[in-house]
Amino acid sequence: MDLKSNEPFWLVKNGLLASYPSLHENISCDVLIVGGGITGSLIAYQCIRDGYNTVLIDKREVCNGSSSATTSMLQYEIDVPLYELIEKIGEKGALASYDACCKAVEDLGKIAHRIKSASGFQLKQSLYYAASKKDAEWLQKEFEARSNAGYDVRWLEPDTVLSKYGIHHNYGAILSAAGGSVDAYKLAHELLLHSYKKGLRVFDKTTLESVQYKKGFNLGTVTGGAVIKAKNIVYCTGYETAGMIKEKFVKLLSSFAIVSEIDKDLYRQYKDILIWNTSKPYLYMRATDDGRFLIGGEDEDFKDPVKRDAMLKEKEQKLLKSFAKIFPDKQFYSDFAWAGTFGETKDGLPYIGEHPDFKRSYFVGGFGGNGITFSVTGMEMVSHWLKGKKHLLSEYFRFGR
């Protein structure tokens, strides 16, 4: 699957931060992690901390899938509003999912700090504004639901949103204390290097071609024929997981993003906040740690990469038009535009768990606007399962739900 257009900003900004050898000989391990994006690098970090003999493989250069194209807003807010999620899956599961995302943002900050990351992790507030009068009605209901659940939220009237954040055409907003952002491409590289120094074996340009399930272990065969004997496999294969599972569980789309040139004024005003709105598809914005402004959205209902990349110029213009409408008194000088595959699930929740067709294996598929925060939660879940413990969220994130 072609996961992104040629030049996502983070790849251009950071370049190829590390390269690992491909695998040519038979090896064995406790845990084989398939996929070296932000999810695989987090799971590997946890497995090494838990003391497992761990191997990670990626069919591309590591971190060259969606994790190089992500805009990396770290949100406790799931694509499906809390009040709606409560209606869909019940209060217990909905609150547990929102709580897990809150915790994930904090946990990621702790990890970034622990490994002395230079990936610009920053805690931020989050502003979710109504883009129409009609949306303001359900957004207020959402505010009540979050407020009743004890989240640190405030309702802001439209004139406050305009005077404080300069956002025109808004109909009120929820201001949340929890949120963050990071350069996920850099963080994934840093995590891999950190774990590599502690014993993680990493092989890139190494595709898992097939798996044989034996009593007590799996035998994975990779490109070129080398075999990996693994007690457990953790699939962190991102949106390409859709092609591995027979049931349809994720809807794949195309999403678009642009970043401005370095702009001191935009940066100063928006460096501490994530902004998103209730449009369908939603529009989102934030400052980057190197002083730019980023806007994303304009999702299209298909994943065809040729069609997607052919729309880049048109989508850049549309995002610029949205910026001009929201901030009529500000300028946005576009520097980079890119596109990537994006995935949505029916309830906004990820698929993290076992699948009956894959023995002694777990999937960590963080989909939707919270892909990264869900992957952080996935670390805790996989860690529990490998130790034979249960996890509260298994029921809500499982396949076949």
Residues lying near ligand FAD in the complex (CB under 6 A): 3, 34-40, 57-60, 64-67, 69-73, 207-208, 236-238, 240, 255, 257, 296, 340, 342, 366, 369-373, 375
The SS3 assignment for 89 reads: helix
The SS3 assignment for 88 reads: helix
The smaller minimum CB distance to ligand FAD, of residues 148 and 212, is found at: 212
Q: Please, what is the minimum distance in Å from the beta carbon of residue 84 to ligand FAD?
A: 19
Q: From CA 313, how far away is CA 315, in angstroms rounded?
A: 5
The smaller minimum CB distance to ligand FAD, of residues 34 and 326, is found at: 34
C-alpha distances in Å from residue 27, one per residue of 31, 223, 269, 393: 12, 14, 52, 33
Residues whose CB is less than 8 angstroms from the CB of residue 277 and which lie 6 or more positions away in sequence, other chains included: 128, 129, 130, 131, 170, 283, 284
Q: Please, what is the minimum distance in Å from the beta carbon of residue 323 to ligand FAD?
A: 17
Q: From CA 103, how far away is CA 109, in angstroms rounded?
A: 10
Q: Please, what is the minimum distance in Å from the beta carbon of residue 379 to ligand FAD?
A: 12
Q: Please, what is the minimum distance in Å from the beta carbon of residue 140 to ligand FAD?
A: 25
Q: Please, what is the minimum distance in Å from the beta carbon of residue 15 to ligand FAD?
A: 17
The smaller minimum CB distance to ligand FAD, of residues 115 and 162, is found at: 115
Residue number of the CB closest to ligand FAD reads 371
H or E segment at 27? strand 27-34
Q: From CA 94, how far away is CA 78, in angstroms rounded?
A: 10
The smaller minimum CB distance to ligand FAD, of residues 175 and 234, is found at: 234
Q: How many CA atoms lie less than 13 Å away from 394 in the CB half-sphere?
A: 14
Q: Please, what is the minimum distance in Å from the beta carbon of residue 327 to ligand FAD?
A: 20
The smaller minimum CB distance to ligand FAD, of residues 78 and 156, is found at: 78
The smaller minimum CB distance to ligand FAD, of residues 20 and 171, is found at: 20
